[in-house]
Structures are given as structure tokens and as C-alpha cells.
């Protein structure tokens, strides 16, 4: 059905145009892809999902630096047969079902409170500020020489009941004790 398909693509283009209130910078485009890729390398406990089809939620707390790009990235993708949904939260209290949560730099002042409230929630927390990990953030994007480096606090990750693939750990700067 080439006609249908082209129609659909046209529709898709108009929607993304509508969503994008402006394109993110190259750094945040990469980070958006990484955010999605975390879902590939991290395992959540089964209890997180009520049923097998329940979508995996990538949430953004605070201002969204990715604009509509993240939606573009996850559109149509699946992790372990689960569709991926992007949710944007204004407050910590709004977060109910969420697997990966990007904590926007806009939330830096309230960081300590946010992170501690998410502690028991099996949420992989991702941030991009200097002191994100100091307050218990799990994964931090650090920019060194124009390159994005991943920093992972393994202790925090494990405490949240998540397991990170060794492949991911190998290319990240890992801190925190490893529970063997």
C-alpha cells in the first residue's frame, strides 16, 4: 500500500512539526537517544509492570530540554515487546508509573528531595548536572571535551532493584560499591 504509507508519513511529518516548538541542540539530541537506549541495557524487576503489554515509560521531570525530539526517537520502538511512552512531569508527586526518569537541570534546587522520594520506586534516574550523583542520582551525563560521558552510581542503581548490563557499565565511569 504505497499510497497509505505515504499518507501516513505526511501525517507524521505534520504532527512532529506541530509538536516541535523548536529543535534541541545536538547535545540533547544525542542525550535523547541515550535516554531511550538506557531502556535496552537496564533490567527492571517484574513487579514494576502489571501486565506484559504495559508500556515502558520514559519520563521527564521539569523543563524538557529535548523538546519533541524524544518523542520522535521512541516512536514505534519497543523494549522487550513493550511500547515506549514519554511522559512529562512537573512535580515529583505526579510520578506514578515511570521506568526511566530524566531529571531536568531545572529541578536542581529540589534535587535532594526529588531523588530521595524516588528512592524506593525502581526508577532509573538520569541527570545532567554536576552534583546529580551527590544527591543520589543514578546516571549522569557529563560532558568532557565535547564528548558525552556516562557516569553511573552503581550503588544507587542496585539499591533501586535495577540491574545494569555490564556492556553499559564497561563504557561508563562507575562509582559506588558493587554488591557482589
- Give contact residues for other proteins (rule: CB under 8 A): 30, 34, 37, 40-41, 77-80, 150, 165, 167-168, 170-171
Shortest distance, CB of residue 100 to other proteins, whole angstroms?
14
CB contact at 8 A, 109 and 83: no
Residues pairing with 147 in the sheet: 144
Which residue lies nearer to other proteins by CB, 108 or 133? Answer: 133
Kindly state the smallest distance separating residue 75's Cβ from other proteins, in Å.
14
Task: Give the nearer residue to other proteins in terms of CB position, either 107 or 128.
Answer: 128
Please, which residues have CB within 8 angstroms of residue 131's CB and are 6 or more apart in sequence? Answer: 108, 111
**What minimum distance in Å lies between the beta carbon of 86 and other proteins?**
17
With cell 515487546, the residue in question is: 81
Alpha-carbon gap, residue 8 to 84, rounded angstroms: 20
Dig out the grid coordinates for 147 from the structure.
564528548
Which CB sits closer to other proteins, 57 or 95?
57
The per-residue DSSP string of 41-75 comes to HEE--GGG-SSTTPPEEEEEESS-TTTTHHHHHHT
Shortest approach of other proteins to residue 147 CB, angstroms? 9
Cβ-based nearer residue to other proteins, 22 or 76: 76
Nearer to other proteins, 31 or 67 (CB): 31
Least Å distance, CB 22 to other proteins, is: 24
Nearest to 172, CA basis, from 26, 157, 119:
157
User: Three-class SS of residue 23?
Assistant: coil
Amino acid at each position: 500500500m504505497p499510497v497509505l504509507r505515504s499518507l501516513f508519513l505526511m501525517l507524521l511529518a505534520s504532527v512532529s512539526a506541530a509538536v516541535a516548538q523548536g529543535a534541541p541542540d545536538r547535545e540533547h539530541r544525542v542525550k535523547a537517544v541515550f535516554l531511550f537506549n538506557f531502556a535496552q541495557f537496564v533490567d527492571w524487576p517484574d513487579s514494576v509492570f502489571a501486565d506484559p503489554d504495559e508500556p515502558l515509560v520514559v519520563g521527564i521531570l521539569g523543563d524538557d530540554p529535548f523538546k519533541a525530539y524524544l518523542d520522535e526517537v521512541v516512536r514505534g520502538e519497543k523494549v522487550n515487546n513493550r511500547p515506549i511512552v514519554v511522559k512529562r512531569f512537573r512535580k515529583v508527586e505526579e510520578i506514578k508509573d515511570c521506568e526511566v526518569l530524566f531529571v531536568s537541570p531545572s529541578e536542581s534546587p529540589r534535587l535532594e528531595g526529588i531523588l530521595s522520594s524516588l528512592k524506593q520506586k525502581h526508577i532509573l534516574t538520569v541527570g545532567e548536572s554536576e552534583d546529580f550523583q551527590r544527591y543520589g542520582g543514578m546516571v549522569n551525563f557529563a560532558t568532557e571535551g565535547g564528548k558525552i560521558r556516562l557516569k553511573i552510581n552503581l550503588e544507587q542503581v542496585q539499591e533501586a532493584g535495577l540491574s545494569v548490563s555490564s556492556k553499559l557499565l564497561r563504557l561508563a565511569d562507575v562509582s559506588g560499591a558493587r554488591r557482589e
